Amino acid sequence: MGNIDEQIADIEAELAKTKYNKNTQHHIGKLKAKMARLKDDQEKRRAASSGGGKSYAVKKSGNATVALVGFPSVGKSTLLNKITDATSEVGRYEFTTLDVVPGIMDYQGAKVQILDLPGIIKDASKGKGRGREVIAAARSADLLILMVDVFRYDIDIIVRELYKAGMRINSKPVDIKIYKSFRGGLNVNHTVEMTKMDEEMVKNIMSSYGIINADIVLREDIDEDQLIDYLSGNKVYVDAIVVLNKIDLLPKEEVDKVIEALDGWNVFRMSAEKDLMIEQFKQEIFDICQFVRIFLKPQGQDADLIEPLVIKEDSTVGIVCDYLHRDFREKFRYARVWGPSAKFPGQRVSIGHVLKDEDVLSIVVRK
Ligand SMILES: Nc1nc2c(ncn2[C@@H]2O[C@H](COP(=O)(O)OP(=O)(O)O)[C@@H](O)[C@H]2O)c(=O)[nH]1
Ligand SMILES: [Mg+2]
């Protein structure tokens, strides 16, 4: 048995030369599961051995975090400087941005943290071009902006690197339930027709993950990669849009062709340098983040209807407590809500109550 890198290389080579068909599919499923496990191990070892070194861990701040990801020189720093308070070095050379530069975009009462990440290049997920650290920062984002320009828009390369690093763009975790037991082997149940895997494949992959006695319920027609993602449990699901920059450098018809080539993506066109579509871009980010505005009403007083507190969709009263004061959660007695999330005006709610946009909220705490 060679080291992990060699084992992974061997499996990759075997997968590359094995054609997918009815006879080989089970073998391929097993190989993929084995490789996924080896890669998880490899990642753990790297994390353990790298100890110290330069960390890209950026402290989260603001109401949401958006990460700019893209090839060098597409205009990430230029955009960051336009929409936030940060000053990121804009350069004519590749790799001008060597550190993650956070900036805050202040828009309609919301503070959005925007991270300018060093350029992602091919094979970044294997550690070249400092890509792994970059990707680690990208993983903490609520939204990714995949930035390209009119001359270089091979978005697939970026998505592939992110995929290899465990990021799943614009997709949801699959709906699977596993009930482990002590005997009885593996029972595969499904509520929809399975067209991409048969029962044997599911069982093979589960046993490669050491699960030998369990009931599994599949509620979606998934393939083996999705099952492996689920079992490895370390994937990050994040939404992304594409920004096409430098539209000032081509005539409109040519820009339209680029957009056509980016078929299937939500593409936002702009010129960061020439200030085209910058205000609209801020609005777009704000809309995508789906912020919720809460008007606070101190007990026995009128609500402040001028300046809302901005929180994320699906936030609870507890989240508002955290914003207001570090003791509020502990001292919380009850809250009252007027507005969209209230069954009736002034409804008394608990700390887990989920708020909606334009609620008026009164929090009552112990003195
Ligand atoms: N013509 C044009 N040039 C741009 C635009 N945005 C950025 N640039 C230029 O492209 C180069 C690289 O920009 P930079 O922001 O450093 O790219 P980064 O590596 O992605 O951060 C700089 O010379 C910028 O002035 C744009 O919209 N139009
Ligand atoms: Mg830069």
Instruction: Indicate whether 198 and 116 sit together in one domain.
Output: no
Q: Looking at the predicted structure, is the pLDDT value of residue 55 above 70?
A: no
Average per-residue pLDDT for the chain: 86
Quick one: average pLDDT of 60-78? Answer: 87
Which tokens in the block code for residue 347? Answer: 């409804």
Give pLDDT, residue 340: 96
Which atom of ligand 1 is found nearest the CA of 147? 20
Within 6 Å (CB) of ligand 1, which residues are found? Answer: 72-78, 90-92, 96-97, 119, 245-246, 248-249, 271-274
Instruction: Choose which residue among 69, 78, 148, 269 to substitute to test ligand 1 binding: the one with the highest number of ligand atoms within 8 A of its C-beta.
Output: 78
Which tokens in the block code for residue 91? Answer: 């350069």
Structure confidence by residue, pLDDT tens digits, 216-238: 999 999 999 999 999 988 889 99
Instruction: Indicate whether 97 and 150 sit together in one domain.
Output: yes
Are residues 109 and 63 in contact, defined by beta-carbon separation less than 8 angstroms? no
Could you tell me whether strands 309-312 and 291-296 are parallel, antiparallel, or unpaired per DSSP bridges?
antiparallel
Please report whether residue 58 resides in a domain: no
Query: Ligand 2 centre and the CA of 316: distance in Å?
Result: 37
Q: Looking at the predicted structure, is the pLDDT value of residue 96 above 80?
A: no
Burial 70-95 (b: 16+ CB within 10 A, else e): bbbbbbbbbbbbbbbebebebeeeee
What's the number of domains the chain is made of? 3
Structure confidence by residue, pLDDT tens digits, 189-218: 999 999 999 999 999 999 989 999 999 999
Give pLDDT, residue 247: 98
Instruction: Indicate whether 143 and 258 sit together in one domain.
Output: yes
pTM for this predicted structure: 0.79
pLDDT bucket at 108, cuts 50 / 70 / 90: confident
Give pLDDT, residue 133: 66
The CA angle 101-103-105, to the nearest 5 degrees, is: 155
Instruction: Indicate whether 228 and 214 sit together in one domain.
Output: yes
Q: Looking at the predicted structure, is the pLDDT value of residue 29 above 80?
A: yes
Q: Looking at the predicted structure, is the pLDDT value of residue 56 above 70?
A: no
Query: Ligand 1 centre and the CA of 179: distance in Å?
Result: 52
Q: Looking at the predicted structure, is the pLDDT value of residue 129 above 60?
A: no
Instruction: Choose which residue among 116, 120, 273, 281 to substitute to test ligand 1 binding: the one with the highest number of ligand atoms within 8 A of its C-beta.
Output: 273
Query: Ligand 1 centre and the CA of 182: distance in Å?
Result: 60
Query: Ligand 2 centre and the CA of 99: distance in Å?
Result: 9
Report how far apart, in Å, the C-alpha atoms of 239 and of each of 173, 226, 308, 356 are.
12, 17, 26, 22
Determine the Cα–Cα distance for residues 144 and 264; give it in Å rounded to an integer.
Answer: 16
Instruction: Indicate whether 13 and 130 sit together in one domain.
Output: no
Instruction: Indicate whether 16 and 156 sit together in one domain.
Output: no
Give pLDDT, residue 93: 44
Instruction: Indicate whether 140 and 263 sit together in one domain.
Output: yes
Show the domain range for 18: 4-52+174-232
Query: Ligand 2 centre and the CA of 91: distance in Å?
Result: 7
Determine the Cα–Cα distance for residues 106 and 282; give it in Å rounded to an integer.
Answer: 9
Q: Considering only CA atoms, which residue is closest to atom 1 of ligand 1?
A: 246
Instruction: Indicate whether 33 and 104 sit together in one domain.
Output: no
Identity of the highest mean pLDDT range in 25-39, 72-86, 163-177, 209-223: 209-223
Query: Ligand 1 centre and the CA of 269: distance in Å?
Result: 14
Which atom of ligand 1 is found nearest the CA of 68? 20
Ligand nearest to the CA of 148: 1
Give pLDDT, residue 20: 83
C-alpha torsion sign, points 206, 210, 215, 219:
negative
Residue with tokens 């002590």: 182
Instruction: Indicate whether 165 and 71 sit together in one domain.
Output: yes
Instruction: Indicate whether 9 and 112 sit together in one domain.
Output: no
Q: Looking at the predicted structure, is the pLDDT value of residue 283 above 90?
A: yes
Determine the Cα–Cα distance for residues 321 and 164; give it in Å rounded to an integer.
Answer: 38
Give pLDDT, residue 280: 97
Looking at the DSSP bridge assignments, the partners of residue 111 are 106
